[in-house]
Amino acid sequence: MTKVSITVDGVLHESEVEPRTLLVHYLREQVGKVGTVVGCDTSSCGACTILLDGRSAKSCSVLAVQADGSSVTTIEGLAGDEWHPVQAAFKECHGLQCGYCTPGMVLSAVDLLSENPNPSEAEIREGLEGNLCRCTGYHNIVKSVALAAQTMKGGKK
């Protein structure tokens, strides 16, 4: 077992983990952040996407020990007093159906918009390439991210 210190959604967790433990399993099973989900075993679907020190990462592709000393934001910690504009836009544009891909999709979109605050439709689609959704056909996800880009322009950045 290896000791790790990881800040998850603003709270510092000091834990013992098996060296082979994936960050996503650490988050789900040891920290109880079950909002972050597992959708595949080949790093293909992006359902487990979190923000690792502010950048999107597939938490199935990171060992918990690699995240030692880092700060993780999950879907459960994204909202402050109010929802993040990306969350609000997904609701507004019906950018989710079953919701299983949604945590990863939202956090990928947050990262996408931090990198490119004014993306074109093609840039949104390319930017979300690592996240699979089986329900929406992506149409309303793309609309959601475009709306979030608009609403975020007035505020931060």
Partner 1 sequence: MTELAEHVAAIGRPLKRKEDARLLTGKTQWTDNIQLAGALHMAILRSPMGHAKITKLDVSGALKYPGVEAAYGAAELGDLNASVPCVWPVTDDMVAPDFPALAKGEVRHMGDCVALVLAGTAAQAADALEGIVVEYSALPAVINMDDAIKEGSPLVHSDKGTNKCYTYKLQPQGDGAYEAAKAKADVVVKRRFVNQRLIPSAMEPRAVVASPMGTSGELTIWSATQVPHVLRVLLALVTGVSENKLRVVAPDVGGGFGGKLQCYREEILCVALANKLGRPIKWTETRSEDMMATHHGRDQLQDIEIAATKDGKLLGLKVDLIANMGAYLQIITPGIPLLGMFMYPAIYKMDAYDFSCIGVFTNTTPTDAYRGAGRPESTYAIERIMDELANELGMEPMELRKKNWIKHEEFPYTTVAGLTYDSGNYEAATDKAMALFKYDELRKEQVKRRASGDKVQLGIGISTFTEMCGLAPSRTLGALKYVAGGWEHCTIRVLPTGKVELVTGTSPHGQGHETAWSQIASDTLGIPVDDIEVIHGDTRTSPYGMDTYGSRSLAVGGQAILRAGEKVVEKARLIAAHQLECSANDLEFDHGVFRVKGDPSKEKAIQAVAFEAFSAHDLPDGLEPTLQAESTVDPQDFSYPHGTHLCAMEVDTETGKSTIRSYVCVDDIGIQINPLIVEGQVHGGLAQGIAQALYEGAVYDSDGQLLTASFADYLVPSAPDLPSFVTDHTVTPSTTNPLGTKGVGEAGAIASTPAVINAIVDALRPYGVNDVPMPALPMTVWRTLNAARQGGK
Minimum distance from CB of 14 to partner 1 (Å)?
21
Return d(Cα 56, Cα 51) in angstroms, integer: 4
Q: Which residues contact 156 (CB under 8 A, 6 or more apart)?
A: none
The residues facing 51 across adjacent strands are 56, 73
Per-residue tokens: 146: 């475009």
Residue 74 interacting with partner 1 (CB under 8 A):
yes
Where does this chain touch partner 1 (CB under 8 A) — which range of 30-38, 51-59, 64-72, 147-155? 30-38
Residue 122 interacting with partner 1 (CB under 8 A):
yes
Return d(Cα 20, Cα 131) in angstroms, integer: 24
Residues of this chain that bind partner 1 (CB under 8 A): 18, 25, 28-29, 33-42, 44-45, 47, 74-76, 78-79, 83, 87, 90-92, 94, 96-103, 106, 121-122, 124-126, 128-142
